Amino acid sequence: MFIEPIGGLMNRALWAELLDDRKFYFPVVAEGKDPPQPLSVEGKPALVNRKWRPIGDEAAVTMDRAQPYVGAQSVRVAVDAAAPHGFGQGGLGVAQGREYVGHIVANGTPGTVLTVALAWGPGAGDRQTVTLPPLTAEWQSLDFAFKPGADTADARFEVTGAGTGFFRVGTVTLMPADNVDGWRADTIAVLKSLHSGFWRLPGGNFLSNWDWHQALGPRDRRPPVYDYAWSAMQPNDLGMDEYMALTRLLGVDPYVTVNAGLGDAHSAAEEVEYLNGPATSEWGAKRAANGHPEPYGVRYWNIGNEPYGWWQIGRTSLDYFMIKHREFAAAMRAVDPTITLIGSGAMPDQMHPRDAKENASLESIQAKFGTENDWTGGLLAKAWGDFDGLSEHWYDTVEKRPDAPPADELMEFARAPANQVRMKAEEWAIYQRRFPAMAQKPIFLSIDEYAYIGAGTKPTLKLALAYSMVMQEMLRHSDFIRMSAFTFGISTLDVTPAGATLNATGQVFKLYGERFGAGVIPVAVTGDAPPPDPKFAVGYDHPQVKSGSPTHPLDIVAGLSPDRRSLRVAVVNATFQPQPLSLAVQGAKADGAGRVWRLSGPDLDAQNKVGAAPQVTIIEAPAPSLRGPLTVPALSTSIYEFPIRMGGPARVAGQ
């Protein structure tokens, strides 16, 4: 899985913080008086945080830039005995009976008393108020807790004071009491069921102007930062220690991308030392001082995020970045020579001028190889030996096919994103011919960002069939595709303040994670029904290749269990009819009846929602012997497992 903190993407879904702008990066002003935020690098408007608003006389609320607690400013409120003054934030999602805990860091005129309140409705009884101990002139952290009496997506948190003088607030936080190291416990529990191998974190566009050094130590003391890639404020609560805690909770390996946008090789080497160095090293000692004496032992490292993109902060030319990549690699390996380094590549089908419209084919991209529009080739030609693997990112946009018959529309919808993977495989073969050294020193491809995006990509059964075909195409090329990371990890969930559950997309990853995961040995699949050419395309960025197995309309991959005692066959049926399937296995003999794990639902629009019975489910059932014909139900992804006795190299033929 892949994750990055785009705006408030992680807050409330994965990170447990309820409050936006908890360190007051923005001034506390009345509605309509907010200062303008700059557009993102791509020219997109700002991602809007929930704002703090004055309570009582708005003139009593000002920003103190002379002695802030953290960052550039703290909020200062002049109090009045006649009426409460303060500030509040609405739009919070809370669940009835769930405990929420927090603290506020404040000072002020000695003896001033603050109250904090959580309101979950408009009535006088729809709120809980906590009176805090009297303030002093020194900053102090004051704890509080709430237990709302109703579910709502529009609760309001308020801070007010009364008396004479003033109070100042440097930061405030509010989280569910059952959070684990700041992460939502319920979300973590569901995500563990995906059986992911690793999470790429942090990564993404925001990384290219983020300094990881600023996100160390006590979270309240980390200054908030502005993310110019997405035009959004980040409170800087998520640093490397928090990300490492997340991977520990999930039981996955961390995969770290270093800032090669505005960042430098020296900072990247320090990051390696902070995460992997002994406590006796300079940065290992800082990690130990932050409560983590043992090295994290991060194995996988990525140099830069999409440095080829016009949208990327610090974007530069291919030749210049090759110099930069080699400097990063040397500095990072000098600290820890055991790390696995992944270079930021981009193949010619992904590379084109900003406004170009192209459905790439193998013929149309030939002239791009070896040019500025071939960053993967650039790394192979100019940085050989300074990476172990190469990354690739792709996003496929849903195509509208208004005139296509429903059966054809479904098949094309399901196949389209898998064609992105097939194009990488076709291009990889070209690189192997262009660079014979790839045969002597095997390197691998990491598709560490990918997603099917646009209108029509709600997490339904229909989308699950498409992601099943993506998974199968990657498994089909696991001779060189060794890693992949889906955008985003939390896109596998339906999340509310009351809980979390796997959505239809999440069920795909759970199915393959449990039944086709680590240790499965690939088995070749043959057939006599090759997939047809893609059709009905009216948009752009759709590679003109044919993904799938030669068993159309079914898509099949196969593998042996790690102990070679069972054959696993994964089948996607993205049609409206049950499909017959006969399997002929070479090199093995059937040894009894099998089992099947089947992902399906009542219709293409089926979804999974918190608080409702899941519609897209995985059901385990008996399966007939491998010797007999199978019937694969419509609109399903099935993984069969058959006991076998090996007699030689295995191969599966499907009809």
pTM of the predicted model, to two decimals?
0.94
Q: What is the DSSP letter of 469?
A: H
Give the gyration radius of the chain's Cα atoms.
27
Residue 378: phi and psi, rounded to 5, are -65, -40
Cα distance between residue 636 and residue 508, in whole Å: 11
Residue 186: phi and psi, rounded to 5, are -70, -40
In this prediction, residue 536 carries a pLDDT of 67
SS3 content of the chain, % helix, strand, coil (to 5): 25, 30, 45
Cα distance between residue 72 and residue 87, in whole Å: 19
CATH architecture of 555-646: Sandwich (2.60)
In this prediction, residue 11 carries a pLDDT of 85
Query: How do residues 475-531 score in pLDDT, each as one tens digit?
Result: 999 999 999 999 999 999 999 998 999 999 999 999 999 999 889 999 999 999 999
626: tokens are: 């491998």
CATH architecture of 196-517: Alpha-Beta Barrel (3.20)
Give the torsion sign (CA, 127, 164, 29, 102): negative
Give the torsion sign (CA, 336, 337, 339, 341): positive
In this prediction, residue 352 carries a pLDDT of 85
Contacts of 72 (CB under 8 A, 6+ apart): 25, 65, 223
In this prediction, residue 448 carries a pLDDT of 96
Contacts of 12 (CB under 8 A, 6+ apart): 18, 93, 184, 495, 497
In this prediction, residue 537 carries a pLDDT of 65
Q: Give the mean pLDDT of 165-181.
A: 97
N- to C-terminal Cα separation, the chain? 34
Residue type, 54: P
Cα distance between residue 193 and residue 214, in whole Å: 33
Q: Are strands 166-176 and 100-108 parallel, antiparallel or unpaired?
A: antiparallel
39: tokens are: 């557009």
Query: In the chain, pLDDT over 90 holds for what percent of residues?
Result: 84
Round the average pLDDT of the chain to a whole number and report it: 94
Give the torsion sign (CA, 316, 317, 320, 324): positive
Query: In the chain, pLDDT over 70 holds for what percent of residues?
Result: 99
The residues spanned by each domain of the chain are: 51-176, 196-517, 555-646
Which uninterrupted H or E stretch holds 90?
strand 85-94
Contacts of 458 (CB under 8 A, 6+ apart): 607
In this prediction, residue 432 carries a pLDDT of 96
Q: Is 99 in contact with 176 (CB distance < 8 Å)?
A: yes
In this prediction, residue 105 carries a pLDDT of 98
How many Cα atoms sit within 13 Å of 115 on the Cβ side? 17
The domain made up of 51-176 has a fold known as Jelly Rolls (2.60.120)
Angle at 491 between CA 490 and CA 492, to 5 degrees: 85
Q: What is the DSSP letter of 83?
A: B
Collapse the DSSP code of 28 into the 3-class scheme (helix H, G, I; strand E, B; otherwise coil) and give the result.
Answer: coil
Burial of 311 (0-12, 13-18, 19+ CB in 10 A): middle
Q: Are strands 74-78 and 566-573 parallel, antiparallel or unpaired?
A: unpaired
Nearest one of 297, 259, 254 to 275, comparing CA atoms: 297
